[in-house]
Amino acid sequence: MTPAPAYSPGLEGIVAGETGISSVADGLRYRGYEVPDLAEHCNFDEVAYLLLHGDLPNKSQLAQFQTRVHAARRLTQPIRDLLKGLPKGTPPLDALRSSVSALAHFDQDTTDNSHEANLRKAERLLAQLPVAICDHYHYSRGEQVVAARQDLGQSANFLWMLRGTEPKPEDVKALDVSLILYAEHEFNASTFAARTIVSTESDLHSAITGAIGALKGRLHGGANEKIMDILKPIGTADKAEKWVRDALAKKERIMGFGHRVYKTGDVRAGILKKYAAEACARINEAKWEEIAEIIETVMANEKKMYPNLDWPAGRLYYAMGLEIPIYTPIFAMSRITGWSAHVIEQLDHNRLIRPRAIYTGPELRSVKPVAERG
């Protein structure tokens, strides 16, 4: 009898491939650069170039990259009609997923899986996702869409399209840092889904559509939308400790804490915490940070669990006045860079991803005639 293969639920700890895109072994790095260093010294446009093209751009490369991306900030009329015609109440992430799938029909490189074609498609999706998010946002409210600008980086242009007003520098910087931190994270669920899809020699748009589907779940990208659902009912800092202890006693899951890889804390959460605190202070709502700090302390002392990136991101976006249903789409418009980089890497060195399973069903049985079945 063939011995059963080793089994790890959820593939925890299983090495499923090789990648030169990011590493989580000794702190998060993108192509060898430490993420805190990138967050401090780069903008998201530079990091997007790094993930897609392999290294940080020089001044000329960055300008050319931005020119290409800015020129692609548009949707065809059929995509706009699709977004406008979606049922009222369609979740923004679902609208984004449908947009990416439909965009495949209008991209001249859809069926070309060469390295160069996939880079072109990736740059176009980097430009198109923010437009789709903002257009659906306005259509769902019966408003006119705001046209993209060619003179703004990704973060500033997104805030411009969303609000129709000149973005504040402090908001642009905070959003930019969050996009850098969300951009890539090795073989997470959505990235692995994308690599699995494209390993069949499918196309980049199909892989990204599947990745967005994986991102939707609250155990992955949806968690940042749940943070204010925790903080708002608590209301004031004096109620925070009792709330978290009661939740722990009931064995309730507290979103924004714990990580499959990081057991002693997520470095990204520490970086973004400062920006969340500053944003809350700007709107005179420091209470959210006070409540969050108490919850963090109790979770660390009682459960040895620490915040992940979603914990400060939910607070930051709320303090910036962004509506909660677009938090996960913001995650997606950042992670499109990491997803695309992994799709390209997978296709450059492809092997079909086909794991095995341990069978737990009935033992061998013979088929009886239908009249003899009980």
CA-only gyration radius of the chain, Å: 22
Out of 310, 342, 348, 349, the active site residue is 310
**Which residues on neighbouring strands pair with residue 25, listed in sequence order?**
27
Q: How far apart are CA 311 and CA 296, in angstroms?
A: 10
C-alpha closest to that of 28 among 225, 259, 348: 259
User: Cβ distance 280 to 313 under 8 Å?
Assistant: no
Measured CA distances, 305 to 22, 160, 222 (Å) = 24, 37, 19
First to last CA, the chain: 31
Query: What string of DSSP letters covers 225-294?
Result: GGHHHHHHHH-SGGGHHHHHHHHHHTT---TTB--SS-SS--HHHHHHHHHHHHHHHHTT-THHHHHHHH
The phi, psi pair for 229, rounded to 5°, reads -65, -25
Return the structure tokens found at 228: 């204010």
Out of 136, 205, 259, 342, the active site residue is 259
C-alpha closest to that of 145 among 124, 131, 127, 165: 131
Q: How far apart are CA 285 and CA 278, in angstroms?
A: 10
Residue with tokens 């924004």: 256
- Is 310 among the residues known to form the active site? yes
- Is 238 among the residues known to form the active site? no
Region for 323 from its dihedrals, namely left if φ exceeds 0, alpha if ψ lies in -120 to 50, beta otherwise: beta
Q: How far apart are CA 96 and CA 31, in angstroms?
A: 28
C-alpha closest to that of 92 among 215, 256, 231, 270: 215
Q: How far apart are CA 258 and CA 244, in angstroms?
A: 15
Active site residues: 259, 310
